[in-house]
Amino acid sequence: MDAVLDNLGAYREGFVTTLELSVLSSALALVLGTLLAAMRVSPVPTLRAAGATYVELVRNTPLTVVFFFVVFVLPQLDILLPYFAFAVIALTVYHAAFFCEAVRSGINAVGVGQAEAARSIGLTFGQSLRLVVLPQAFRTVIPPLINVVIALIKNSSIAAAFGVVELTATGTRLANANGDAVIAILAGVAVCYLVLTLPSGWLAGRLERRVAVAR
Amino acid sequence: MTEAVLYDAAGPRGRRRILLGSIAGVVGVAAVVGVAVARLAAKGSFDAELWRVLTEGAVQRLIGRGLVATLRAAVVAMVLAMAVGAVLAVGRLSRRAWLARAAGAWVELFRGLPLLLLIFFLFLALPAVGITISVFWALVAGLTLYNGAVIGEIFRAGILSLPMGQTEAAYAIGLRRGQTLRLILIPQGVRRMLPALISQLVTLLKDTSLGFVIGYAELLRNGRTAVEFLGGRYSIPIYTAIAVVYIAVNASLSLLARWLDRRTRRRFGQTVQASVADEAA
């Protein structure tokens, strides 16, 4: 326990880094994912194929392999960034595919009549998507989106293996430095993650039930 | 399905616009890729000699051994996780409140933690209390703890998705609760959750790559070993080969899951859908 209390500063830094990593990557991945979802339902076959290929490739590749490509291949293109930026890129590229699928399933959950009505009053594809379908889709899609964010928070731990000192890396460093208190130190890290993931999970569950009743 | 009604089939002008736009888009993407390729080519990344390394027996054996190790960890972890998941699902469905709550807390706890942290916990903390654990078992145990919780939820969703009439009919002919579960609910539930179970296997297979972090010689680790031995110039061909192997294995499993899903829905109605978030983690 003392080992945990003595290193509260390190914990805080790790926690903040994990938070920064997650928030930044979630925001970027949500934008990219929504764009991909719009591509996947668009009237243009080329865009549909491009979106589908992206999602299919990424969802079958381990995040660790995505990290490998970003961290080891981008420098070969003379793109040299700090490890933190590399981690944000890898997390964004990977999770955009899952945000896309969540948004797309939301689009499909909106009643067909809504889209038909939008089209019959003469709205174009872009207008019906923007003004009628997406606003309704986002409501049903908020719980799955929160769940993808939770997955992203957990997956951000992989950045520990690629030079970013976030929560998990802090934990292993402290564990190596305090061989007598490994369990307490890692349990401390676990609590930090649970503080982020459990309340978000409950929130998602509650919203899901509310939306389910509304339909 | 809302997608299908969002637009009409394009007319001649629309088709022409789409064609021109697609060509412009392809040219744009090709330009970006071209710049990247040119930069890599300037460094000699596309020299045939670099890619010929993939035809070498030693490299192929290393990647093959890595794939076997990856599949071995995935299969052992999947079997164990399904056993854990079955126990958790039955526990959460139990009428004994303490048991249901304990199983629920277990699921929430292990689903809320990063898998990598679980693996580190097993790998670093167990030796601290005097239990030695090999990297293989640290990886498999971590995968089992995490995926057991997720699979438990899939099992539970499969059983809860069955109509109440099934349980009521079973009680009406005098079956006890355990018998109802064993004879009526589980056989029907399994069919509905099989597709979701296979997608979870894909996730589990992807997650075995975390074994790389603790030094388990699986596919990715062996790729890294090859690059370290041959030199950084070989990173693009080797990692590309590794990615292709992962995508080939996982995409065939995903196709199987989708086919099973369609077939089950056609024959038996509903199926349990794997959540997008579980696929991501």
Summarised one tens digit per residue, pLDDT across range A39-81 is 888 888 888 899 999 999 998 899 999 998 898 888 877 788 9
Q: How large a percentage of chain B has pLDDT more than 90? A: 36
B-chain residues within 8 Å CB-CB of A136?
none
pLDDT band at A214 (very low <50, low <70, confident <90, very high): low
- Nearest by CB: A112 against B2, B39, B43: B2
The distance of A155 to chain B (nearest Cα, Å) reads 6
Average pLDDT score over chain B: 87
Interval B70-104: pLDDT, tens: 999 999 999 999 999 999 999 998 889 999 999 99
Task: Report chain A residues whose CB lies below 8 A from the CB of B117.
Answer: 157, 168, 171, 186, 189-190, 193
Report the sign of the C-alpha dihedral through residues B82, B84, B87, B92, in that order.
negative
What ipTM does this complex have? 0.88
B110-156 pLDDT tens trace: 999 999 999 998 988 888 788 888 999 999 999 999 999 999 999 99
The number of domains in chain A is 1
Q: What is the mean pLDDT of chain A?
A: 89
Closest CA–CA distance from residue A94 to any residue of chain B (Å): 8
Report which of B265, B255, B259, B260 is spatially closest to residue B161, judged by C-alpha positions: B265
* pLDDT the model gives residue B1: 54
pLDDT for the residue numbered A213: 55
Residue A215 has pLDDT above 70, yes or no: no
Which amino acid, residue B218? E
| pLDDT computed for residue B110 by the predictor | 93
A129-160 burial: b if 16+ Cβ within 10 Å, else e: beebbbebbebbbbbbbbbbbbbbbbbbbbbb
Residues of A (25-64) whose Cβ lies below 8 Å from B: 41-47, 50, 56-57, 59-64
In this complex, is the C-beta atom of A212 within 8 Å of any C-beta atom belonging to chain B?
A: no
Chain B hits for A98, Cβ within 8 Å: 276-277, 279-280
- With CA atoms as reference, report the closest residue to B189 among B272, B100, B252: B272
Q: Is the pLDDT of residue A173 over 70?
A: yes
Average pLDDT value for residue range B245-257? 90
Band of pLDDT at residue B3, cut at 50, 70 and 90: low
Residue B207: Cβ within 10 Å count: 26
Tell me the mean pLDDT in the region A90-119.
Answer: 90
- The residue written with tokens 């003392």 in the block is A2
Go through the domains of chain B in sequence order and give each one's CATH number.
58-280 (1.10.3720.10)
Which class for B53: exposed (0-12), middle (13-18), buried (19 or more C-beta within 10 A)?
middle
Tell if the CB–CB gap between B128 and A62 is shorter than 8 Å: no
Whichever domain contains A149, its CATH number is 1.10.3720.10
**pTM listed for this prediction:** 0.88
CA–CA min distance A168, chain B (Å):
6
In the predicted structure, residue B24 carries a pLDDT above the cut 90:
no
Distance from the Cα of A84 to chain B's closest Cα (Å) equals: 18
The pair of structure tokens assigned to A154 is 């957990």
3-state helix/strand/coil string of B240-273? HHHHHHHHHHHHHHHHHHHHHHHHHHHHHCCCCC
Q: Which of A46, A56, A189 sits opposite B117 (nearest CB)?
A: A189
In three-state form (DSSP H/G/I as H, E/B as E, the rest C), the secondary structure along chain A is CHHHHHCHHHHHHHHHHHHHHHHHHHHHHHHHHHHHHHHHHCCCHHHHHHHHHHHHHHHCCCHHHHHHHHHHHHHHHCCCCCHHHHHHHHHHHHHHHHHHHHHHHHHHHCCHHHHHHHHHCCCCHHHHHHHHHHHHHHHHHHHHHHHHHHHHHHHHHHHHHHCCCCHHHHHHHHHHHCHHHHHHHHHHHHHHHHHHHHHHHHHHHHHHHHHHHHC
- Residue B169: count of CB within 10 angstroms of its CB: 13
User: CB-CB: which of A77, A119, A183 is closest to B125?
Assistant: A183
Distance from C-alpha of A136 to C-alpha of A128, rounded to nearest angstrom: 11
Asked whether the beta carbons of A90 and A157 are under 8 A apart, the reply is no
pLDDT of the residue at A125? 83
Query: Which of A94, A105, A114 lies closest to B276 in CB terms?
Result: A105
pLDDT of residue A58: 92
> How close is the nearest chain A Cα to the Cα of B211, in Å?
10
A101, A151, A182: residue with CB nearest B281: A151
CB-based contact, B113 to chain A, within 8 Å = yes
pLDDT of res. A212: 66
Q: Is the model's pLDDT at B106 over the cut of 80?
A: yes
Domain that holds residue A155: 2-214
Residue B268 pLDDT: 76
Whether residue B219 is predicted with pLDDT greater than 70 in this model: the reply is: yes
* Residue B21 forms contact with A (CB below 8 Å): yes
The span from the first CA to the last CA of chain B, in angstroms, equals 27
User: What is the DSSP secondary structure assignment for residue B159, as one 8-state letter?
Assistant: H
Q: What pLDDT, on a 0 to 100 scale, did the predictor assign at position B144? A: 95
Residue B258, pLDDT above cutoff 70:
yes
Q: Is the pLDDT reported for residue A136 higher than 60?
A: yes
